[in-house]
Every structure is written in structure tokens, then in C-alpha cells.
Amino acid sequence: MTKSKAALRFKKSLAYHIIRALRPRQWLKNLSIFAGPFFWGNLLDGEVLLACIKAFFVFVMASSATYLINDVVDAENDRNHPIKKNRPIANRDIPEWFALTLAFLLMTGSLVFSLENFSRFFVLTVISYFALQITYSLYLRNVIIIDALTVASGFVLRVFAGTFASKVPISSWLVLAVIGLSLLLAFGKRRAERTILASQNIPLETRDTLKHYPDNLLDSMISMSATFAIVSYSLFAFQTNQTLTSSTLVKNLPITLSSPKLLMLTIPIVIYGVARYLYVIYEKNEAESPERVFLSDAPLLNSIGIWVLLLFILIYGLQGS
């Protein structure tokens, strides 16, 4: 009983609402920082891993700052939304002046930390991220198509930030795959949000762009983005030189299989994951929050776990075989 009362008091406290306003679930997007060094094969190097963790910490501060600014800008519209009305700023659990002050401190802290620990290219990437996200909150979010492209650009900046922090090259096909996936998430979110509002007979006034997105257009863009993501990732997997040409196993294979592209083994998992996300969008109507979907949909979460595990085995477990 005492623990229950303590938990209830915490949920009513300012600290609880601040944590909610920082959107910890959204920090999952910052894991894309690890993509470059992970696929390059040196993520487990001590210095590289530490640099990526620091970069992740920077973007946790940076992204939370932009979410606070976004929620202040969008507070009035959020109050008319069946889900977003419960956000701390929209629900007036946190004063807007406090949220903006906290956002300024987080932005300043992330920039100072970046200047002290990373190259100018990383710092410029963080500044570009701030400029992009603030412009998105103030204007670009209301421009059809451009709003989704802006979301995709945020993912790409994170990926490049990770490579700048770890000082590794990056495949163009991997960047294109990230763009395709982020576009799928962006358009899928808008499609699900339209469905949710329509099911509750709520006018599409919580976001101006929703009124201008026909369902047919969103369906076409979702299909295109899914295809683009799968094809780009498949080409990336095919062109990645992760082979076992020196292993005893490969020497005993027929010449047809003598130089296998092992990362291609992960393509079916990616196809399933994309297809499962499309199922969530169209059948379960739960894709309004992609990060919530990834954490709550067991088949999708399992496919991601298997994909990461298989990649880890192929890239790191078989090194030197």
C-alpha cells in the first residue's frame, strides 16, 4: 500500500510530468546513431563504442529539447486531439515558460558537450538537427510531403552523426535504406492518425497537413516507401563484403556458393518486419506512435530482435573465421 501511494504521488509530481514531456520512448530513434559503426564492424571497439554512447547522449538532450519546443508550439491543437491532449504541456501539467527554459538548457548542454568531445562536423550536424526540427515545428510540419521528408532527414542526420563521432565511412545504400524506413514511419503515422480521428468523428484540425493528405495518397506513399526501404537494404546487404572466403566451411562449398554475401540472410527478416508494420497500420490501427508499436507489438519486436541478433553473429561472431 505504501509503495502504491508513493507511485501515485510521483505520477502527480512535476518530475514525472517532466520525464513524460521529454518523451523517453522517442529516444529509440537515436539508436540510429549506432548504425554506421555497427555495420562497419567496429562498434565493439572501446573508443568507438564510447564515442557512440556520448553521441547518443547528445541526441537524447537535443531531441528532447525539440520535443518540448514542438509541444509548446502545438499545445492548442493537441488539446483537441484524443491522445495528444494528455501530453504534459497540452494538459497544463507543465507551464510553457518552464518547458521552453528546459529546452534552452538542453540545447545549450548538448552543444557545449559536443564542442568538448567531438569534431566540428558532428557539431554542425547537431546544429543542423536543431535548425531542421525547429523549422519543422514552426512551419514545415504544415507542408504536405515536405513534413515527412523532414522527419526522414532527422534520421539521416542521426546516422551521419554516429559516423562522425566514430570516424567510420558509411554506405550510400544504408543511408537510402534509412530514408525509406523513416518515410514509411512518417507516412504510416499520418495514415494511422487520420484513421483514429475519423473513427472518433473528430475533425482533422489537430494538424493542418492531415486535411490535405488523401488516404489514397498516403497509401501510395506508404507502399512506395516500404518498397524503397526493402530494395535499398537488399542492395546494401548484397554489396556488403561480409564473406567467409577464408573459412574451412566455405572451402568445402561448391563454387556457386564459394563467396556468399552473408548479410543477404537478413533480407527475409526485413521484409517480414516491414510487412508486419503495414499490418499494424491497416488492420490494428495502432501506428499513430511508431515507437509505441515497436515496444508493444510482439511479432514486430521479435523480428527486430532476431534481425539484430543475426546481424551481430554475421558481422562480429564470424570475424576472422
In a domain, 155, yes or no: yes
- What CATH code is carried by the domain that includes residue 22? 1.10.357.140
pLDDT at 203: 59
Asked if residue 176 and residue 139 are part of one domain, the reply reads no
Domain boundary among 170, 186, 221: 170
Asked if residue 226 and residue 134 are part of one domain, the reply reads no
Asked if residue 209 and residue 298 are part of one domain, the reply reads yes
In a domain, 2, yes or no: no
> Are 68 and 74 contacting, i.e. CB atoms less than 8 angstroms apart?
no
**Dihedral of the alpha carbons of 213, 150, 87, 212, in degrees to the nearest 10:** -10
In a domain, 165, yes or no: yes
What is the value of pTM for the model shown? 0.84
Number of CB atoms found within 10 A of residue 295's CB? 12
Cα-Cα end-to-end distance for the chain: 56
In a domain, 100, yes or no: yes
- Dist CA 197 CA 205 (whole Å): 10
Asked if residue 23 and residue 126 are part of one domain, the reply reads yes
In a domain, 278, yes or no: yes
User: How many angstroms separate the most distant Cα atoms in the chain?
Assistant: 69
Asked if residue 28 and residue 53 are part of one domain, the reply reads yes
Q: Which residues contact 26 (CB under 8 A, 6 or more apart)?
A: 63, 64, 67, 291
- List the pLDDT tens digit at each of the 321 positions of the chain: 455 655 555 456 788 888 988 888 888 889 999 999 999 888 888 899 999 999 999 999 999 999 999 989 888 877 777 777 788 888 888 888 999 999 999 999 999 999 999 999 999 999 999 999 999 988 888 888 898 899 889 999 999 999 999 998 888 899 999 999 999 988 888 887 777 666 666 655 556 677 777 888 888 999 999 999 999 999 998 887 654 444 555 566 566 555 667 788 899 999 999 999 888 888 766 555 666 677 778 888 899 999 999 999 888 876 544
Asked if residue 102 and residue 233 are part of one domain, the reply reads no
Asked if residue 225 and residue 130 are part of one domain, the reply reads no
Range of the domain at 155: 9-170
Containing 64, the helix (H) or strand (E) segment is helix 46-73
In a domain, 264, yes or no: yes
- The number of domains in the chain is 2
In a domain, 1, yes or no: no
In a domain, 128, yes or no: yes
DSSP state of 56: H
What backbone torsions phi and psi does residue 42 show, to the nearest 5 degrees? Answer: -125, 20
Asked if residue 149 and residue 44 are part of one domain, the reply reads yes
